C-alpha cells in the first residue's frame, strides 16, 4: 500500500527519496511524488505510474534541496491521477503533506473548509488534512517550529481514521514533522541526517538505528536530532532499536524476481522457524513467546485462528494440525469478518492472529476486537516491529526474513511450520504420547532436506507450467490438509498471472465445479501419498472422464498410479502426511511463478495489489 520516505540532512534529498521509494515499490502503488524545500519554496514532482516515470520527470526538471518528503500512492479516495498523487498542499502552497491511511470524516471537513473559501485540487482525503494543518498554522500568532508542530497537533485532533504523515513547510527548510495513528511510521537516525519512513526497508541502506513511532505520536525531525510529543500535547519516551536487517536482505541478489528468491529461501526460513524450538528431551516444542504456562494452555477449550489471504490459508492447515495432534476444537475466520460476526467464544477461547507484515488493517482490527472482548490474543507474525506484534498478548515470530514479493511464499511455509509447533505443544500437554512427540520432532527435522529436494525440481515444474500457461481458467483440488493448499495454489496463480483460478476440496467437484471441466480447463490435483490418496484418484478419474486435462502433485513411489491417468505428474519426496502441505505448496509457488513469467507478467508487482493492506 502507500509508502512514505522523508529525508533531512546535508545531502541532496531527491535521489535519497527516490531510492527509498524504489525500496517500497513492493508494497504496491499506482502513482508517486516528491516534494523538496529549496530557496524558500516547496518544489514538487508527481507522476502516475512507476518510480522510473517519476525519476524521468525529475531528470528533465530537477529539484534541489536537502529536506524532502515523498510518497507512493495506492488509490483509495479519488482516481489514479497526477492531481490525486501526493504530496498535497495547503491553501498557502507553502505546506506539503504525504499521508498513508484514511481520513474517515474528510467529506464533512472538506465541506466546512470549502465554506470558508478553501479550494481543493484533488479528490483525496489527504488534501483536507494538508488544508487543516495549514489553516491552523496560519491562524497561529507565531511563525515558529513549535507553532507548526502545534498546528499538526490541532489538525490531527479534528480527524478520525488512520494516518501516517510527513509534513514540510517552506519557512522551515530543515524540518520534517511526522505523526502516526494506525499506519506505521519509523524514524531513522543517521549522522547529521535523519529519515522518516513507513517501512524500515526504505532506509536500511542509510541507517539501522531507528525509533518506531507509536500511535498518536508526533516527531519533529531536523538534521541534528528529533523531538517526540503526543497528539494530546504531552512528551513521549522512545527506544532506539537497531534493526536486524541488512541491505542484502532487501535486495534481489542474482534472482530475476523477489518471489523466486523467496521461494528459494525456504530451506533457511523453515529452519529458522524451528530453530531452538524443538526439545528432544521433552518431546515437545518450546514456545516461550506465548507467555502462557502449560496449565493455562491446558485450560484452552477452543482456538480461533484469523488472518487474511495466504495467512488464512496457513491457518486452515493449522486447524487440521491442531485438531489432529491436540484435539482442541479450532476454527478459522477471515479477519475481515471476525469483527462483524458474533462468534460464540467461551472465556477459555484462545485467539491467534496471523500476519506476515503485522500491519494488515483487517487483522489488526480482529486483534483489537478480540482483546476488547477479553480474550487472550496471540500473534504469529514475521515483522517483529509491527503493530500486531506489539499489541498481541504474546505469540510466535516466524523469523522468515523480509518478504518483499507481493505474492506470499516463504511466509506461508513458515506460518504452517509455526502452527505445527503449536499443535505439537498443545498435543503434548494433552494426550499425545512422548513417543509420538519424538517421532514428530524427528520428522520435522527432515523438512529442510525435503524442501531442498522440491526446489531442485524447479526446471521440471517450470516445463509443466509453460505447457499450461495459455489456460484461461484453472481449477485446484485437494483434500484434508491439502485443501487449503489448493486454495493457496489458486490464489498464487490468479494474483500474479491473472488466470481465473479457484480451489476446492476434491470431492466438491461433483457438486457443481465439474460443470467447468472441459478440454481447455486444466485441473491441478494435490494428491500426495496420504490417507485420502485413493479418494483423490477417483476424483481425478471423474475429471478425465469428461476430457479435462489433469496435472497431479503426488509422492515419489506413488507416481505410477497417477501417471496412468494424469497428463502431467510432479512428485514430492516421500514425507509424513502432516508435512505434505509445505512441500506441495512450494510446487505450486514454482508453478504459478513460471506461468506468470511465461505470460510476461510483472511478478513482483501484480496489478492492483499491495503487499501490506493497511486499509480496511
CA distance 111 to 114: 5
List the one residue out of 373, 377, 372, 353 whose CA is nearest residue 291.
377
Q: Tell me how many residues contact ligand AGP (CB under 6 A).
A: 17
Q: Could you say whether residue 539 binds ligand AGP (CB under 6 A)? A: no
Is 472 considered catalytic here? no
Q: Which of 2, 308, 332, 566 is catalytic?
A: 2
Q: Which of 94, 261, 605, 611 is catalytic?
A: 611
Joined grid coordinates for residue 60: 528533465
Is 308 considered catalytic here? no
Residue from 369, 495, 529, 604 in contact with ligand AGP (CB under 6 A): 495
Q: Which residue is nearest to ligand AGP (CB)?
A: 309
Tell me the closest approach of the beta carbon of residue 596 to ligand AGP, in angstroms. 12
Q: Could you say whether residue 357 binds ligand AGP (CB under 6 A)? A: yes
Per DSSP, helices labelled H in 545-579 are: 559-565
**Of 133-141, 183-191, 350-358, 596-604, which part binds ligand AGP (CB under 6 A)?**
350-358
Based on CB atoms, which residue is closest to ligand AGP, 43 or 363? 363
Chain mean position to CA 557 = 37
**Of 85-93, 158-166, 403-411, 448-456, which part binds ligand AGP (CB under 6 A)?**
403-411
Joined grid coordinates for residue 265: 529461501
| Helix/strand/coil for 96 | strand
Unique residue bearing C-alpha cell 485446484 = 476
Is cis: bond before 87, omega within 30 of 0? yes
List the one residue out of 525, 459, 440 whose CA is nearest residue 260.
459
Chain mean position to CA 179 = 22
DSSP string of 341-370? Answer: S-----TTEEEEEEESSS--HHHHHHHHHH
Residue from 321, 407, 524, 552 in contact with ligand AGP (CB under 6 A): 407
Name residues contacting ligand AGP, limited to 306-335 (CB under 6 A). 307-311
Residue from 128, 380, 406, 425 in contact with ligand AGP (CB under 6 A): 406
Q: Could you say whether residue 363 binds ligand AGP (CB under 6 A)? A: yes
- What Cα–Cα distance (Å) separates residue 360 from each residue in 198, 367, 388, 610? 14, 11, 8, 11
CA distance 131 to 88: 9
CA-CA-CA-CA torsion sign (21, 22, 27, 31): positive
Name residues contacting ligand AGP, limited to 597-616 (CB under 6 A). 612-613
Tell me the closest approach of the beta carbon of residue 427 to ligand AGP, in angstroms. 26
Q: Could you say whether residue 355 binds ligand AGP (CB under 6 A)? A: yes
**Of 114-122, 183-191, 402-410, 471-479, which part binds ligand AGP (CB under 6 A)?**
402-410
Based on CB atoms, which residue is closest to ligand AGP, 128 or 613? 613
**Of 125-133, 304-312, 441-449, 497-505, which part binds ligand AGP (CB under 6 A)?**
304-312
- Tell me, what DSSP letter sits at residue 574? P
**Active centre residues (catalytic):** 2, 611
Residues making contact with ligand AGP (CB under 6 A): 307-311, 355-357, 360, 363, 406-408, 491, 495, 612-613
Amino acid at each position: 500500500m502507500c509508502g512514505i520516505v522523508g529525508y533531512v540532512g546535508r545531502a541532496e534529498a531527491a535521489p535519497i527519496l527516490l531510492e527509498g521509494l524504489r525500496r517500497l515499490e513492493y508494497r504496491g502503488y499506482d502513482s508517486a511524488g516528491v516534494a523538496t524545500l529549496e530557496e524558500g519554496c516547496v518544489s514538487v514532482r508527481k507522476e502516475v505510474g512507476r518510480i522510473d516515470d517519476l525519476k524521468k520527470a525529475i531528470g528533465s526538471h530537477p529539484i534541489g534541496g536537502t529536506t524532502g518528503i515523498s510518497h507512493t500512492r495506492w488509490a483509495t479516495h479519488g482516481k489514479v491521477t497526477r492531481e490525486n498523487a501526493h504530496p498535497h498542499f495547503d491553501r498557502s502552497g507553502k505546506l506539503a503533506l504525504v499521508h498513508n491511511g484514511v481520513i474517515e470524516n474528510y467529506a464533512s471537513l472538506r465541506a466546512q473548509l470549502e465554506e470558508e473559501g478553501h479550494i481543493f485540487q484533488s479528490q483525496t482525503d489527504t488534501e483536507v488534512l494538508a488544508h487543516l494543518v495549514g489553516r491552523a498554522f496560519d491562524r497561529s500568532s507565531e511563525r515558529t517550529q513549535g507553532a507548526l508542530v502545534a498546528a499538526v497537533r490541532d489538525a490531527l485532533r479534528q480527524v478520525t481514521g488512520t494516518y501516517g504523515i510527513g509534513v514540510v513547510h517552506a519557512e522551515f527548510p530543515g524540518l520534517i514533522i511526522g505523526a502516526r495513528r494506525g499506519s506505521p511510521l519509523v524514524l531513522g537516525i543517521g549522522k547529521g541526517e535523519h529519515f522518516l519512513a513507513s517501512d524500515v526497508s526504505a532506509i536500511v541502506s542509510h541507517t539501522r538505528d531507528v525509533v518506531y513511532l507509536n500511535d498518536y505520536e508526533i516527531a519533529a525531525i531536523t538534521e541534528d536530532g528529533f523531538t517526540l510529543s503526543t497528539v494530546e500535547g504531552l512528551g513521549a519516551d522512545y527506544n532506539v532499536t537497531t534493526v536486524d536487517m541488512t541491505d542484502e536482505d532487501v535486495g534481489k541478489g542474482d534472482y530475476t524476481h523477489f518471489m523466486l528468491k523467496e521461494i528459494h529461501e525456504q530451506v533457511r526460513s523453515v529452519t529458522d522457524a524451528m530453530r531452538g524450538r524443538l526439545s528432544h528431551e521433552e518431546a515437545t516444542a518450546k514456545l516461550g513467546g506465548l507467555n502462557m504456562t502449560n496449565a493455562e494452555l491446558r485450560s484452552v477449550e477452543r482456538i480461533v485462528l484469523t488472518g487474511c489471504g495466504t495467512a488464512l490459508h496457513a491457518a486452515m492447515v493449522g486447524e487440521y494440525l491442531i485438531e489432529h495432534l491436540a484435539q482442541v476444537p479450532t476454527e478459522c475466520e477471515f479477519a475481515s469478518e471476525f469483527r462483524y460476526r458474533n462468534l460464540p467464544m467461551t472465556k477459555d477461547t484462545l485467539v491467534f492472529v496471523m500476519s506476515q507484515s503485522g500491519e494488515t488493517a483487517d487483522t489488526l482490527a480482529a486483534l483489537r476486537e478480540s482483546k476488547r472482548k477479553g480474550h487472550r490474543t496471540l500473534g504469529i507474525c514475521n515483522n517483529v516491529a509491527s503493530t500486531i506484534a506489539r499489541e498481541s498478548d504474546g505469540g510466535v515470530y516466524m523469523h522468515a526474513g523480509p518478504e518483499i514479493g507481493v505474492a506470499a511464499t516463504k511466509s506461508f511455509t513458515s506460518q504452517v511450520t509455526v502452527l505445527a509447533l503449536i499443535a505439537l505443544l498443545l498435543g503434548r500437554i494433552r494426550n499425545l504420547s512422548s513417543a509420538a512427540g519424538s517421532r514428530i520432532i524427528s520428522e520435522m527435522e527432515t523438512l529442510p532436506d525435503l524442501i531442498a529436494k522440491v526446489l531442485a525440481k524447479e526446471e521440471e515444474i517450470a516445463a509443466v507450467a509453460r505447457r499450461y500457461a495459455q489456460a484461461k481458467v484453472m481449477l485446484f483440488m485437494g483434500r484434508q490438509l491439502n485443501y487449503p493448499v489448493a486454495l493457496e495454489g489458486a490464489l498464487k496463480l490468479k494474483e500474479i498471472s491473472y488466470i481465473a483460478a479457484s480451489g476446492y476440496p476434491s470431492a466438491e467437484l461433483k457438486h457443481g465445479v465439474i460443470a467447468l471441466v472441459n478440454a481447455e480447463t486444466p485441473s491441478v490435483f494435490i494428491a500426495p501419498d496420504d490417507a485420502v490418496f485413493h479418494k483423490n484418484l477417483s476424483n481425478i478419474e471423474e475429471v478425465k472422464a469428461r476430457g479435462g486435462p489433469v496435472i497431479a502433485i503426488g509422492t515419489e513411489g506413488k507416481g505410477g498410479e497417477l501417471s496412468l491417468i494424469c497428463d502431467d505428474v510432479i512428485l514430492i519426496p516421500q514425507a509424513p502426511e502432516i508435512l505434505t502441505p509445505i512441500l506441495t505448496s512450494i510446487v505450486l509457488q514454482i508453478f504459478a511463478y513460471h506461468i506468470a513469467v511465461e505470460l510476461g507478467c510483472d511478478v513482483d508487482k501484480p496489478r492492483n495489489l499491495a503487499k501490506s493492506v493497511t486499509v480496511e
